[in-house]
Structure 1
Amino acid sequence: MSALIHPPKRKLQEVEDVSRKNNALNWSPEVHSFSQPSSRPSSRPSPRLPSERADLHADSYSHPASLRDMYANRASPILADTLPLQTRRNFSPTVSIVLVGIRGTGKSSLAVMLAATSGRRLIDADRYFQTMTGCSRAAYKKDNDHAIYRQQEARVFESMLLDNKEGCIIACGAGAMERSGQKLLRDYAQTHPVIHVTRDPESIQSYLKVWDIHKVRHFLELSGPIYRACSNLEFFNLSEAPSGDHNGKDNHDPPPGPPTEQRPQAPTPFLTLKRVQRDFLRFIASVTGDATELNRLHASFPLSLLPVQSRPYTSAISVPLSILCERSLDIEELEFGADAFELAIDITSPSDHLGADSHLADTISRFVSVLRRNIIIPIIYHVESHCSPRAPLHPVMARTTDETYLNLVRHGLRLAPTFLTVDLSRDDSILSQIISSRGYVTVVGHFEILRPLPGGWDGDEYLKIYERAKRLGCGLVRMCQPAESMEDNAAVERFRHRVSSLPGPEIPLIAYNTGHLGRMSRCFNPVLTPVTHSSLTQHEPTRIQPSITACDAQKALFSSFTLDPMRFFVFGANTTYSMSPAMHNAAFKLCGLPHSYSIFQSPTLRGLNELVEDHFFGGSSVSLPYKTEVIPLLHSMSPHARAIGAVNTLIPIRGDDDADPRLSQGSSIYLKKAQAGPVKGLHGDNTDWIGICNCIRRGLSPANAVRPSTTGLVIGSGGMARAAVYSMIHLGVQHVFVYNRTFANAEKVAHHYNRQDLYSNDQAKIDRPRVSTLASSHDPWPAEFKQPTIIVSGIPAHSIGGEPAPNFQLPPQWIESPTGGVVVDLAYKPLNTPLMKQVRALSHRGWGALDGLDVLPEQGFAQFELFTGRRAPRRLMRRIVLQEYVAEEDEDSDAIRDRLQRLDGQPI
């Protein structure tokens, strides 16, 4: 019996027979072919042939009138050996993945999404049964008695798992939860990811169209423990709300808990699954440790490529689960300025556990999903060692039992957070169980105490705890004690120095004092300092809870002269109307950074010398016409800028930066930030491609997920067109076409990329992309290639040098994709260009449109990270760009007002 759950004695035999639909969420992207089962020795029972009048493709059953009918006259399932805590969670990127869950959770759609984007073979249990037996489940069940049907179902299920161990995504049906199926799943989970997919009861009830919401909730409570006993991972499929706001309110009437989604519905119906797809792909990449896919997903946010524990002066916003349950909080706003999000699981009783009532498990899973949906920073899963007092006047901190603690931690491992803490005051036997089953989760050894240990930070006890955490296999160590005097803040610095002097490998140390007197130590703790937010400060800080915000910590670093205020610029020949200064300066202020960003206009490249001579020069955006001219002056370049052949971001190299071997990897995230001094060289980067890439991701529906057959089209041949080609190659597009009125210029762009050794897939050097040209807009689309689903236009929409505006529109024969696609127009003067009008008129065919005001802040987020080493406040920067935009037409003003009302800070 599992320590996590006590399964109810109920039968889940026909949990998915309630409603038979072929598509859980009503969309049909291109599906990979199903694998054909290998023939196995026929030790199966001999079934009677189905009736000739039976519909072999029918798979519908009558709806049960109630839960009692569903369970009537059926034996209870027996869970003989549930998964041990030490379940393996280290999986190769190619291992087959199994999805289980009741009908209505969306596991079929998730399976299709993963198959479409990863190249895995999609195996549906119902189709596999029909392939193996020659008829549908309904027909087989009709013509065979119950015992024979169950035996056949068990054999088919075993064959499905054993014959498809690699490269598949397997969506299981109700038969998986029979007694033999449960045993097979538990065995399979020792070597494969078996993911329990769950969902909020409102969405399940809306899909099933049966029962009332109370019965659905009750059924989830009954089924949840059984599914969790047969799986080793869990994904909460967060639904899109039909409407919403940034305060997280929901139109349903759910029990206390997080929202289904915190912002308005996607502007076009075919994008409603977009965020679900992103969440699930990130989850799968984390579960399988797929570094290539993670790097691909993180490339749009440079700081994500550098482990947060290796960056200086990072912070983690700490939010108790109880507050998230009680209050409607803006998750995106909580993220501002923080480098990680710590979900603190606090309970009110030492004996609280995830027992037969799985409501607590569902609540935790749901909130982790809400966080994953709304933030890009890592998630820290932390179980409080002591339960929260029920009454403020009686702050009795009772220690949770080992069983309760293990239950909560084990559930956290199922959710695959980035970090998970373990209580170093527990026995080695308990901690070893947790650490051995961590998978790709980084374990943080956590030690907190009510009173300082003998000798305090200068004694030997904390060193022993640190060494024990290393021995157990922790990736980080976090220690804190109450400060009794200001001297304790100096003592913790001495302790940090002692740790750094220890022989052998060192693991990152998080050490600080708690309480009012310990605030200074929090500010100068260099790794993941726990911080709070102004919206949480109405709660009186306790001995453990943070008492400073991320902004407070940043201000302290600058006011103490630990860091220096820097000056940033936009450098170009004509930058008068740039919106970048307003966008970056607002972001600096919100994050507590005393930097400045201003315009530096120069008729020649020599003007750059004045900037470089400034000891407080922090970096510069580069505008036309210097994006290529500046390259000969650079000390180093990022691989992106080198591949594109243009630079839009300059970062100064100071001190021993040029001696850092990591800089040879070409990323300026390794350069020191906010430290003044002589400039020894310049590093060049390019974020234009990131802005375009993110906009493509925002507008590309799951039905048009990038596949080997995907085709892209770029209009233009300038620097932004080159960035557009590179963004498509980064996304995995292998066939890119370039069209330009001057055919020779299009040929130059194609030659620029075709002579490079670039690949769409970094793992298998077989997917080298090809860039081709189109000679005339009157030509038909090349018959040997699919119609483009990703189109980027890099030509201006206004008159230049007396030349009339191009008024470009796509030839109708080039936009005949049956599933639509996304068009990104880099122009925004005017905002509603002829191309945008054309594409928006085709929204009913699945086409989405994004413009230059979408691209500008997206590239600005990455630029902000490269300049400061801090996360960008995305929603604020988007708002500033829209507010600073000077509309030339009335319809543009109306469009800006509408976009401001539905503003969000979504990662993509």
Structure 2
Amino acid sequence: MSILVRPPKRRLDDLENFDQNHRRVLRGFNQGSNALGTTATSTDYARFDERPETGDGSGYASPFRELTSSRGSPVRMENSLQTQRKFAPNASIVLIGIRGTGKSSLAVILAASYGRRVVEADRYFQQVTGRCRGAYKREHTLPEYRRQEAIVMESLLMEHQENCVIVCGPGDVERNGQMRLREYAKTHPVIHIVRDVESIQSYLKARDTDKVRRFLELSGPIYRSCSNLEFFNASEKGISDLKDNQHYTQWDAEVDQRIQTATPFLMLKRLQRDFLRFVAFATGNMPELRNQLSPFPLHMQPIETRKFTYATAVPMSSLLENNFDIEELESTADAFEIKIDVSAAPSAQLGTESNLADSISRTVATVRRNIIVPVVYHVESNIFSDHREPSRRSDAAYLELVQHGLRLSPEFVTVDLSFEDSLLSQIIDTKGSSKVIGHYSPVKPPLRGWEDPEYLGIYERAKKLGCDMVRFTQSATSIDDNFAVERFRHNLKILPGPQMPVIAYNSGPLGRQSCCFNPILTPVIPRPLISQSGTRGLPSVTVKDAQQALYSSFVLDPMQFFVFGANTTYSLSPAMHNAAFKLRGMPHIYRIHQTPTLRGINDLVENPNFGGTSVSLPYKTEVIPLLHSMSPHARAIGAVNTLIPIRNLEGSTDDALDLEKNRAGPIKGLHGDNTDWIGIGICIRRGLSPVNAIRPTTTGLIIGAGGMARAGIYSMIHLGVQNIFIWNRTVANAEKLAQHYMRLNLRAFGGSGPAPYKIHVLKSLQDPWPVNYKQPTIVVSGIPAHRIGDQPAPNFQLPSQWIESPTGGVVVDLAYKPLNTPLMRQIRSLSHRGWAALDGLDVLPEQGFAQFELFTGCRAPRRLMRTVILQEYKEEEQGEEYDQSAMQTRLENLDGQPM
């Protein structure tokens, strides 16, 4: 099917027909007891209280019963709850869900990126029987239809075991379909797609909101019973939502990439990034996950191996009660911990009891959509109500909540070690790709505090259960508790044999010191929640507090960073980095170091507080002979733009360099890296619409043959582009660049794995596009747009015969002096044809984020750094008036997302 084809709008009748189908499915169930243990009658269905017949006689587990109930747990669906969530790399993926959730769009996105085939179950039924489902039902009795439906469903799943994305509709989740999907889920990812009521209602053009909501309450448990993963399709704001902005104009929409993402051809960008990352992690597709995350240096290092990492802790109740800026909550943290502190009781936020699963899924999805750091899913074992003593969740309620969290595939999930081993083993055995943090927080500290042998016993128990990390916390009663927890961590570290990473700290105001010196995933409170510090179990320190404590106590040292080059007077980097240092509580300084010769590097390396430098022209290649080591990226590109000091020549690996960061001392060598390719690659991803997802036939075009062109080619290869063309005014330089990359024999990573690439040279702007290759959908221009010496500005535009892609594409112009280049004006005029334009002010902060991570080993405050770049930028060209309103529009629509 064409990925441009959108399914027709569904009528409310579709929902009503599906409703009637499930009435038949549930008919036999009404005579027995429902999952809450009460007798169900025919009138119960009108209240949407029934539970579906499973089709194989096994009992059904309610998604979330009363969480403070002491009743025993109902029988669980063995296939859905006991799945191992470990899959073969080429296992087909099934998407299920009601109409209007976006299954078809997600299937196309997934198939295009993974190089797989989309199989629509309804279409397959028609191919096998010669009739659509509705016609077949009309021509046959219901028992005959059911038999045929079972045969087709079994055939569908058996014939498409590998390399497919199977889309199942409501007709496939009835009676026998449920049983077959549960069986299929033992070896394949079966993903339940969920969406908010408003979006589904809009898709179905339904007027009755209550009917849609009741239907979701009924269908949710059915779909969850025969799936092993769940993805909430969080809706995006459209362009109509932005027009209330008084600064908004249609010209602004064309100029500003952040508003361009609301145009039809880019509306699915954030969803695409979100869903592909979810699927890669949930299915254990580590090569694809590394391909997506490798532009972020810290993503490639496990959190537990880094020093002084932080998890911002936010209760789900706060997220439901407040309209928080999620990105501000995450800013500069290394992980985002969602504390599930709500019960299943009806409330204004949660609706009815059966909606708790949807509320959790929606909350996790909303957070994940707006952050780039891992999610920690933590279920509170105790529920705190206003003016009441905390009540403990039942074993069954706790297990169901954590099991639901595993369906959402968070990077980390906690298990409360106060529960029995039998319950915890059910969670750990089904963790899939998630890492498990054993959590222990006694209501009352042991008699001997951190010296009590109870803690060591719990540590050994967590290790035996198979936890990946363990977290201990107790309320501090004195300052001495902070010294005691330091000794506790040290004693665990020196135990014989391999040991688990340990998180250990004291809570409460007296325990703040221990939080500052805990090395792994210290819980921190985000700035918007500071007023609630000490309540709802929230931490008492911010990231800034913890960082300032480390520098004040001489654990870390103030460092000096530079931009090094021959002409760096107008660099925007100092303002960007210094603002980031200040926000994070680092006493570092970033300055300009301009020098006419390479010898100026000596002034930097002789400084014991030298932390690193950005490298500008003309030294990106000249500095290479002085390096002790280089990253694979810099070596392949043949240029460096980032230097990091080496203080221990025997340990110049990435991990060793990370441990040296933010610590002064004599410098023994220099390590070179390149982040230009990262900035270019992220901007390509951001502007490339899902319809132009990179495939083996995708074509890229590079304009220029200098250092930035080198980075552009490397970025395209890394993204999986296998057909790359170069145009340069001097053909010999283009051919030299092509030969450089062909000799390297790198591998382009595409949806089907690493593949060879080809690089060609275009000799004239008048030449037609080569007929054996598709028109380019990715263009990167690395030529200057301003006057250089006596040379006039090139005034470059793409030949019209090279931009005839029927689906448009993305053009990244690396110039920003001037900002609105002739090339940018040309592409923005073609936005109606699907072309997106990104300029140098989009690329500059992206490569700066990566530099910040390489310099400090810490997360960059992305939105702040972008904002500073735009605020500091001043148009230098005299021939073009600086457009303040356009820049204001960009500032008001910033986010910190990579694409």
Same fold per TM (> 0.5)? yes
Q: Secondary structure at the match of 1:755?
A: helix
Residue aligning to 1:321: 316
Question: Measured at CA, do residues 28 and 826 of structure 1 come closer, stay the same or move farther in structure 2, by a change above 3 Å?
Answer: farther
Which of 290, 296, 307 is the aligned partner of 2:291? Answer: 296
CA RMSD of aligned residues (A): 2.5
Q: What amino acid is the match of 1:897?
A: Q
Asked if 1:476 is matched to 2:469, the reply is yes
Q: Secondary structure at the match of 1:697?
A: helix
Asked if 1:121 is matched to 2:100, the reply is no
Counterpart-to-counterpart distance in 1, 2:751 and 2:96: 29
CA deviation after TM superposition for structure 1 residue 903, in Å: 1.3
Residue aligning to 2:802: 814
Q: What amino acid is the match of 1:789?
A: T
CA deviation after TM superposition for structure 1 residue 892, in Å: 3.4
CA deviation after TM superposition for structure 1 residue 28, in Å: 3.8
Asked if 1:488 is matched to 2:486, the reply is no
Question: Measured at CA, do residues 72 and 168 of structure 1 come closer, stay the same or move farther in structure 2, by a change above 3 Å?
Answer: closer
**Greater shift in the superposed pair: 693-702 or 446-455:** 446-455
- The answer to whether the 8 A contact 1:759-1:767 is kept is yes
Asked if 1:862 is matched to 2:850, the reply is yes
- The answer to whether the 8 A contact 1:554-1:592 is kept is yes
Question: Which structure 2 residue ranges, 5 or more long, are not aligned?
Answer: 28-51, 61-76, 246-257
Question: Measured at CA, do residues 264 and 219 of structure 1 come closer, stay the same or move farther in structure 2, by a change above 3 Å?
Answer: farther
Q: What amino acid is the match of 1:781?
A: W
Encode CA deviations 1:174-213: one digit per residue, 9 max, x unaligned: 2221110010011111111111000011110111112422
Which of 357, 365, 372 is the aligned partner of 1:369? Answer: 365
CA deviation after TM superposition for structure 1 residue 165, in Å: 1.2
Question: Measured at CA, do residues 69 and 466 of structure 1 come closer, stay the same or move farther in structure 2, by a change above 3 Å?
Answer: closer
Counterpart-to-counterpart distance in 2, 1:62 and 1:522: 57
Counterpart-to-counterpart distance in 2, 1:65 and 1:466: 54
Counterpart-to-counterpart distance in 1, 2:641 and 2:883: 27
Q: What amino acid is the match of 2:227?
A: S
Residue aligning to 2:63: none
Question: Measured at CA, do residues 669 and 660 of structure 1 come closer, stay the same or move farther in structure 2, by a change above 3 Å?
Answer: closer
Question: Measured at CA, do residues 406 and 61 of structure 1 come closer, stay the same or move farther in structure 2, by a change above 3 Å?
Answer: closer
Question: Which structure 1 residue ranges, 5 or more long, are not aligned?
Answer: 1-21, 32-56, 250-262
Asked if 1:568 is matched to 2:530, the reply is no
Encode CA deviations 1:647-691: one digit per residue, 9 max, x unaligned: 000000013xx323744xxx8864521000000100000000000
Residue aligning to 1:893: 884
Counterpart-to-counterpart distance in 2, 1:869 and 1:72: 57
1:746-895 alignment runs, 5 A limit: 746-761=734-749, 767-887=755-875, 888=877, 889-890=880-881, 892-895=883-886
CA deviation after TM superposition for structure 1 residue 27, in Å: 3.5
- The answer to whether the 8 A contact 2:384-2:536 is kept is no
**Greater shift in the superposed pair: 141-150 or 232-241:** 141-150
Question: Measured at CA, do residues 239 and 289 of structure 1 come closer, stay the same or move farther in structure 2, by a change above 3 Å?
Answer: same
CA deviation after TM superposition for structure 1 residue 71, in Å: 5.8
Q: Secondary structure at the match of 2:147?
A: helix
Counterpart-to-counterpart distance in 1, 2:173 and 2:21: 14
Asked if 1:278 is matched to 2:273, the reply is yes
1:258-657 alignment runs, 5 A limit: 266-347=261-342, 357-389=353-385, 391=386, 394-542=387-535, 544-655=537-648
- The answer to whether the 8 A contact 1:292-1:762 is kept is no
Counterpart-to-counterpart distance in 2, 1:882 and 1:316: 29
More relative contact order, 1 or 2 (CA 8 Å, 6+ apart): 2
Residue aligning to 2:49: none
Encode CA deviations 1:830-872: one digit per residue, 9 max, x unaligned: 1111101110111111000000000000100100000011111
Counterpart-to-counterpart distance in 2, 1:543 and 1:130: 55
Asked if 1:725 is matched to 2:713, the reply is yes
Residue aligning to 2:235: 239
Asked if 1:207 is matched to 2:203, the reply is yes
- The answer to whether the 8 A contact 1:583-1:880 is kept is yes
- The answer to whether the 8 A contact 2:485-2:514 is kept is yes
CA deviation after TM superposition for structure 1 residue 156, in Å: 0.8
Residue aligning to 2:169: 173
Counterpart-to-counterpart distance in 2, 1:63 and 1:124: 17
Asked if 1:152 is matched to 2:140, the reply is no
Question: Measured at CA, do residues 762 and 465 of structure 1 come closer, stay the same or move farther in structure 2, by a change above 3 Å?
Answer: farther
- The answer to whether the 8 A contact 1:715-1:793 is kept is yes
Encode CA deviations 1:546-584: one digit per residue, 9 max, x unaligned: 000011001100000000010000000000000000000
Question: Measured at CA, do residues 115 and 419 of structure 1 come closer, stay the same or move farther in structure 2, by a change above 3 Å?
Answer: same
- The answer to whether the 8 A contact 2:330-2:526 is kept is no
Question: Measured at CA, do residues 441 and 67 of structure 1 come closer, stay the same or move farther in structure 2, by a change above 3 Å?
Answer: closer
Asked if 1:78 is matched to 2:53, the reply is yes
Asked if 1:219 is matched to 2:207, the reply is no
CA deviation after TM superposition for structure 1 residue 897, in Å: 1.6
Q: What amino acid is the match of 1:476?
A: M
Q: What amino acid is the match of 2:394?
A: T
Q: What amino acid is the match of 2:705?
A: S
Counterpart-to-counterpart distance in 2, 1:846 and 1:852: 20
CA deviation after TM superposition for structure 1 residue 137, in Å: 2.7
CA deviation after TM superposition for structure 1 residue 113, in Å: 0.6
CA deviation after TM superposition for structure 1 residue 804, in Å: 0.8
Question: Measured at CA, do residues 520 and 731 of structure 1 come closer, stay the same or move farther in structure 2, by a change above 3 Å?
Answer: same
Question: Measured at CA, do residues 406 and 88 of structure 1 come closer, stay the same or move farther in structure 2, by a change above 3 Å?
Answer: same
CA deviation after TM superposition for structure 1 residue 415, in Å: 0.2
Counterpart-to-counterpart distance in 2, 1:749 and 1:465: 59
Q: Secondary structure at the match of 1:234?
A: strand
- The answer to whether the 8 A contact 2:505-2:514 is kept is yes
How many percent identity over aligned positions? 61
CA deviation after TM superposition for structure 1 residue 75, in Å: 5.0
CA deviation after TM superposition for structure 1 residue 146, in Å: 2.8
Question: Measured at CA, do residues 668 and 602 of structure 1 come closer, stay the same or move farther in structure 2, by a change above 3 Å?
Answer: farther
- The answer to whether the 8 A contact 2:18-2:170 is kept is no
Question: Measured at CA, do residues 466 and 154 of structure 1 come closer, stay the same or move farther in structure 2, by a change above 3 Å?
Answer: same
Encode CA deviations 1:472-530: one digit per residue, 9 max, x unaligned: 00000000111111111000011111101111211100000111111000000000001
- The answer to whether the 8 A contact 1:422-1:445 is kept is yes
Which of 695, 698, 708 is the aligned partner of 1:707? Answer: 695
The TM-score, its normalising length taken from structure 2, stands at: 0.90
**Greater shift in the superposed pair: 802-811 or 169-178:** 169-178
Q: What amino acid is the match of 2:106?
A: L
Counterpart-to-counterpart distance in 2, 1:627 and 1:863: 15
Q: What amino acid is the match of 2:442?
A: I
Residue aligning to 2:724: 736
Q: What amino acid is the match of 1:843?
A: S
CA deviation after TM superposition for structure 1 residue 92, in Å: 2.6
Counterpart-to-counterpart distance in 2, 1:342 and 1:69: 41
Q: Secondary structure at the match of 2:622?
A: coil
CA deviation after TM superposition for structure 1 residue 267, in Å: 4.4
Encode CA deviations 1:770-805: one digit per residue, 9 max, x unaligned: 111101010000000000000000111111011111
- The answer to whether the 8 A contact 2:12-2:206 is kept is no
The TM-score, its normalising length taken from structure 1, stands at: 0.89
Task: Give the length in aligned residue pairs.
Answer: 837
- The answer to whether the 8 A contact 2:337-2:375 is kept is yes
Stretches of 4+ aligned residues off by more than 4 angstroms: 57-75, 243-246, 348-352, 762-766
CA deviation after TM superposition for structure 1 residue 264, in Å: 6.2
- The answer to whether the 8 A contact 2:646-2:652 is kept is no
- The answer to whether the 8 A contact 1:302-1:669 is kept is no
Counterpart-to-counterpart distance in 1, 2:208 and 2:229: 29
Larger helix proportion of the pair: 2
Counterpart-to-counterpart distance in 1, 2:10 and 2:314: 46
Encode CA deviations 1:798-831: one digit per residue, 9 max, x unaligned: 1101111110000011001010000001111211
Counterpart-to-counterpart distance in 1, 2:140 and 2:837: 54
Counterpart-to-counterpart distance in 1, 2:408 and 2:191: 10
- The answer to whether the 8 A contact 1:482-1:543 is kept is no
1:87-98 alignment runs, 5 A limit: 87-98=83-94
